[in-house]
Chain A
Amino acid sequence: MANELLRIENLKTYFYTWAGVVKAVDGVSLKINEGETLGLVGESGSGKSVTALSILGIVPIPGKIIGGKILYRGENLLDKKENEMQKIRGKEIAYIFQDPATSLNPVFNIASQLVEVIRQHQNVTKREALEKAIELLRVVEIPDPEVKIWNYPHQLSGGMKQRMAVARALSCQPNLLLADEPTTALDVTIQAQILDLLKNLKQKLGMAMVLITHDMGVVAGVADRITVLYAGRVCESASTRTIFYNPMHPYTRALLEAVPSLALRREKLKVIPGAIPNLIEPPSGCRFHPRCEYAKEGVCTLKVPELEELEPDHYVACVRAQEIEAKSPLRNESK
């Protein structure tokens, strides 16, 4: 069994806005083992990004982490001081942002952006840092790295920029890479390339990765485990295989049904009715019940489901998970 790298226990990150307190992350628990890829899946506004930002302690104002624990190699990151966190950010845990067009500083060329990060965490001269930077560009498969490194972000294509961003995140060999929708802003063909790159790099460098996405298709090929979030809570957490072949939470199922599939040949794509709830006043009981086709008045509306291990290493937060499983006509459909 692999060693545990990061464990989040009951994390709560709230945003104190004028309209009220937005409970963006409300009791999320998850864990990542060394060298493992965790897919963090959910709709927009389900708390995926906020969870990742909380790990690094860079939740934007007016957000605040108000409870829980984030244990990185046994140490609680929430107890760390700002200057201690600055040493962890980038060196131990790195972050890749969604849009490479805005995550690189437009006024500096790639070289100075990479050298800056390398010299921040490693005691090397400028020349050594530059050589490392060029080496990194080679690692992320950029052609002519000696030339491209002097380019400014606006001279590079989207896929190239994302490779640069990946290189910057990897510059200090982090143990954990948080990739926040790294392919959403890219073309489909480039998406596949970046995913392949991340997958290969992860294996080469032996780091763990959290892949945040709303696209089930993206995690399918990359993740070892998947944790599904809805409205700031964990719905289901299991191995990728289990999530795809034996989903037990109605929300996970609904997500899978909403993926266009050649195998299923549906006439019309299923959608999940409604939208993610207002997180200032979330629905009572199970937060998914207003949109859930299995919801039962008096049960789902009242009882807050706990995350339970219903099968070995398969955690589900649904009161009716076992009842509806037997009834579901969809079970194993996608096999």
Chain B
Amino acid sequence: MTTNTSTQKEPTKTLTVAQRARGVSQWSIAWRRFKKNRAALAGLVLVGVVIFMAVFSPIIARYPPNQLPGFRTGEIRVPPSLKYLFGTDIIGHDVFSQVVYGASSALYVGFGAAAIAMGLAVLIGLVSGYYGGIVDNILMRITEIFLVIPFLLILLVFLRVSFTLVPSGVSGLSVVTLMIGLFSWAFNARIIRGEVLRVKQYEYIEASKSLGASNTRIIFRHILPNVLHVIIVLTTLQIASAILTEAAVSYLGFGDPNSITWGQQLQSANSAVREAWWEGIFPGFFITWLVLGFSLLGNGLRDALDPRLRE
């Protein structure tokens, strides 16, 4: 892709901007289609709000992270008011501030775990699909092992174990992110492999081979861009599922207790669902908000990028 854009940037001098604009890339077509899709745009807005929350959290939040404004004044588990927009929790946290800080954790886990999972999935999918034969066989059997083990259960076990092994200084949230990433690539790898199998048989792959391209070049320059639309969609959905998984893990008490995450807040709210509904409702609402945002975005991207759905 880099070569592509850089060649476009240095056209010969005789070209005017208008003339160059005649080359309509698939990306601009996809964007045009995406813009027409209201649900996808709504997803973009939902995600955008959370990103805004994460970036400007020190400004939006009323108290610094982990401060207990209600502790000294005895305002513990007070319902939402103008002073505490979302109320306070059992030890006097301002729930609103904590929810705002939770945004960056959620995005960190989402993007981090998705990056790890998709990195593995893309590599395994490309190699497996392109080379086929014995390589494919071995990689796909490994993938199947990861597919059949109960994901959440094994994740909890590994988290328990790995927390005892991590050196101090590494944040617990990173461990959770890494673990989620390491255990959620398999499904994506299979889809990408399938897509590679489809693309591999096109004549332009044979054509570039006939013009002297090496295997690595064909994989990364010709096949990867042609399966990129699938990778983008899967990544978006993977982000959503990683955020959800982190919330689940934290809710079950296996997350990192020192991070401010929506899942942790849900867990602490669990003890008093009836008395202090605001403790759980707001973090839960934002988990739903963000996951819904990424899901809508993913579906919108799929509709925009899938070449088979061209109008």
Contact = CB atoms under 8 A, between A and B. Distances in A.
B206 A105 contact: no
Interface residues of B, number: 37
Interface residues of A, number: 45
Given A127-B10, A150-B22, A151-B22, A112 B210 contact: no
A152 B24 contact: yes
A325 B108 CA distance: 83
B212 A58 contact: no
Given A109-B25, A112-B4, A165 B225 contact: no
Contacts of B26: 106-107, 152
B204 interface: yes
- Which 4 pairs of residues, A with B, have the shortest CB-CB distance? A90-B211, A150-B23, A95-B210, A90-B212
A51 B212 CA distance: 18
Interface in B1-46: 3-4, 6-8, 10-12, 14-15, 19-20, 22-26
Contacts, number: 117
Interface of B: 3-4, 6-8, 10-12, 14-15, 19-20, 22-26, 132-133, 202-204, 206-214, 221-222, 225-226, 228, 307
Contacts of A134: 12
Interface string A281-322: 000000000000000000000000000000000000000000
Interface of A: 56, 58, 60-61, 83, 86-91, 94-95, 97-99, 102-109, 111-112, 115-117, 120-121, 126-127, 130-131, 134, 146-147, 150-152, 155, 165, 168-169
Prevailing SS type, chain B contact patch: helix
A40 B202 CA distance: 24
26 contacts: A58-B209, A60-B206, A61-B133, A89-B212, A94-B210, A97-B207, A99-B203, A102-B203, A104-B207, A105-B208, A105-B222, A105-B225, A106-B204, A108-B4, A108-B225, A109-B4, A126-B10, A130-B7, A130-B11, A130-B12, A146-B15, A147-B15, A150-B11, A150-B19, A155-B23, A165-B207
Nearest to B15: A146
A258 to B, nearest CB: 28
B212 A121 contact: yes
A152 B23 contact: yes
